[in-house]
Each structure stands twice: as structure tokens, then as C-alpha cells.
Structure 1
Amino acid sequence: MPLGDHLRELRARLLRAVLVFIAVFIGSLFFYEELLALVMRPYNDAREVLGQSVETKAYVKGATGPLLLQLKLCAVAAIVLTSPYWLYQIWAFVVPGLHRHEKKWSRIFAAVAGPLFLAGVAMGYYVLPKGLEVLIGFTPAAMENLVEFGEYFSFFTRMLLVFGVAFEIPLFVVMLSLAGVVSGKTLGKYRPWIIVGTFIFAAVATPSTDPFSMLMLALPMLVLFLAAEILARLIDRFRGRKRAATEWADDELSPL
């Protein structure tokens, strides 16, 4: 396809994605209260656990704060809700340029990546109240903790995004194994360093500083890495058998 046709196709797909985003964004405005309750639930759970030990209150800053809060919250909700559609548009734009075997593995990647990301987001949402409880718990007894919603919402989205992306890393390891870049034997050799690196990554990546959040990110990642190593070894074994069968066939045909 000529470059001009590629650019026109890209423009058309981007326009479709933007129109769907705008429609879902407008629809999200009607469910603002429900979305706000969903975002505030981890903070309210942490405040309930803290009880009277720490006085904490959420607030919105500035005259334009409430409006910006509503727009930002609905925009993030629209991005998440429309992600299957705009991911499909990216997929549909890229797939025609792939070979047949590349399309097969990329379909597997697309099928597994979404559920893994959602599992990571769900884990982050589950861990968030405990992280907030620990962080707010450092407030001195003589002081009141005021949580500005803009900062809290940024913390909320970073936390969920980190967990979601972290759950994708073992999948990339499997894809590298399928591509022949990494072998299962190599992963087994460097397993101790992978374990140490996973805990370091979890400690650095989590926005909260409590050890509970770090462990809740590191432990599932280690399980996924172990599963990735097992799959990589199975892939190596299958590739070895296929290579041996090919060499045997070549030896059988060589006298001819």
C-alpha cells in the first residue's frame, strides 16, 4: 500500500477512536456520582479502618476544581471503557503488515494481555486501601490529614497502572521465548537475579511506600515469572524436537 493510503487509513481509524471516546465521555458524565464513589472507596475504607486515630478529610481545591475533577474522572473512565475499541483499531492497522506466523502469535498475545492487565488493575485496587491506611497513619496525632482529590486521583491511577503493566512483563518474556530471543534454560540460570530484580522493581514502582503493597505486587509477578519460565522450557523442548525431526528427515533424504 502507498504511504498516502497508509496515512489516510491511520487518520480514519484515529477519527473513529476519537468519536467513540467522545460518545463514551459524554455518557460517563451521567454516571459521575457512581464513578466518584468507585474511586473514593479505597480512601473511605482506609479512613474507616483508621477510625478516630487519625482525622482525615478529602477536599477539592479552587473554584474550578469541581469541574476539572468531573472532566478528568470521566475522561479516564472513557479511556478505560473504550480501550478494547482503540486497541482493536491499532491492531487492525498493524496486522496487515505481519506474516502469517507473526499474526498467530500476536493474536495469542492480544488474547492474554487484556485479562492479565485487568487482573493487575484489580489487584492494585484491592491493595490500595491498605497502602492508604499505612501512608495516612503516619499523620501526627496533633494534626489533621487533608487529602486533595487531584493528588489522590493521580496516585490512584498510577497505582492501578503500575500493577496492570507489571502483570504484562512475564507475558513479554514468553513472547521473547517464542521469538527465540530468550530460552527457558537462560531464565532458570538467572532466576535468583530475577527474584531480586522483581522485589526491587516492586519497591520502586509502587507509589506507596508500605511493604504490603510491594509484596502484593512482587509475589504475583514471581508466580507469573515462574509460569513464564515453565512455558519457555516447553517451547524450547518443542523447538528442539522439531529441529531433531527436521534433521532426521534431511538425513533420510540425503542419499537420494
Structure 2
Amino acid sequence: MPSCPISPACSRRYIGPDPRELGIFNLNNRILFTHELLDDYTSVYTSSETPFTAWVTVTSRRYGSHPSIPFVSEGTFRTAWFAYVNIQDFAKDMSCPKCGPCPEDVIWDGISLGFSKKHILATLRPPTVSDPEAPVRPNGYVWKQQVFPDATLRRLLWHVIKGCKGGSGIREKVVDSDDNEPQHHAMAVKVEMERVKAIPEVLGELSRIDSYLAALFDQHFGLTKVFAGIAAPKVYIKLFFQASSTANGNGAKGLTARVAGS
């Protein structure tokens, strides 16, 4: 096949017959496409958001009923369609009446979108235009997003909840300490007494913040439960552990709301 003298050599385009009068498009003397097939994608593309991949997939499934005639790949069809529309004469109906075929600015989002003229109102603006009356919100970091902003309360609450292991009371914890190590025994007594002393203080601070949380804390972590050796449910241990965290407290706030609503 003779090479095209106009096209670059790297394009590997060849001279061949032009069967346009037969309704056939010749792609480089290798594949023949009917105008009906190429026009079908043009019609679909200009009336809905149909990319090459979707259209080729649908057409390939139609060709699936004839296994001996498979449809071309997406890349081949894309090449053929662009070569076909490049020589079409759309009588200037595909260009802007004010800007012409080559506008200076183009808003491109990869789809073809059309709507009725009745929606073209005087208030229609591009989505990137800012309304002068739009509210202005600061973008700065919001400090103190913890459930309890008071660092002292968070530390005391964490100290109380940390001691809730296995539900054992103060007497059992002290007895379970290693009697053969007086230092360890004394340390266990000191830690447990500090935890017991912190419970009323935590309860008082919670009462000033939220009476329900205070009642919930007293019900499961109060002195009565501690001396009775009654274990707190894991869900409440998790709740107050999250509430005592120094991290963002949005998750714990949501958990608090769910527990309060139950």
C-alpha cells in the first residue's frame, strides 16, 4: 500500500479508496466502519453522558451473538470516530454563535450536557462564581474539641477508669498484690487510694457539666460499686475512656448521645 505523502511517516497512514458514497468509512485501509455505526455514537454522545468505554462495551455485547465477528477495541474505535468526525461538516451548529469554533475560554468536564432553554435565566452563573452575599467561614483550626476541655478532669477520669480491671474491689486489689514485695504492696495501696479519692472529685465535675453523665458515672464507677467489687460494663468503660481522651472528641460525643438515648 502506498504511504500518504502528506501525513508524517510515524503515523503510518496509507492512500486508499474513499467509499463514502457507499456509507463506509475507510480507516487507513485496514478496517471499514459504516457511517451508521459512527453516527450512532455521535448521536448518543451528544444526547447523554456516554463515554467511549460504555458505548464500546454495549456494542461488544451486541456483537457477542456473532462470535465470529468480534467488535473492535475501545482504542481502535476512538481513533476511527475522531478521524470520522474530523471530516464532517456540521454546518456550524456545533460552535458558539458568539465565540465561534475556537472560544478563548472553555469549561470542560468531560461530558456532554444539554438542558432546555427555559432554564437559561438572567440569574444563571458558572458554578465557580462566588456570591457577594455568601457567608464567610474561617478556615482556622478549632481548638479544644475534646469532650471535656478541662485537662485536669480528663486526667482524673482516665486515672479512675484505668483502675477498673476485672471488677475487683479495693480490698481484693490490695490483697492480690505481692505480699513478698513490701514496696509493690505499698505502691498498690497508694495507687488504689488515689483512685478512690479521685472518684468524688470526678463526680462533682461531671455534675456541673451534665447531670446524666454524672449519674451514669456514679452508677457504674462510684464508691459503692468500687467497694462492692462490681465490674462496670465494657461499653461504659469504653465510653468514659474515649471521653477522657485528648484527641478530637466527636466520636465520643456521638457515643455519649447514643448511650443517653438508650
TM-score, with length taken from structure 1? 0.21
More helix by share: 1
Which of 1 and 2 has greater Rg? 2
> When the two structures are superposed, what TM-score results if normalisation uses the length of structure 2?
0.21
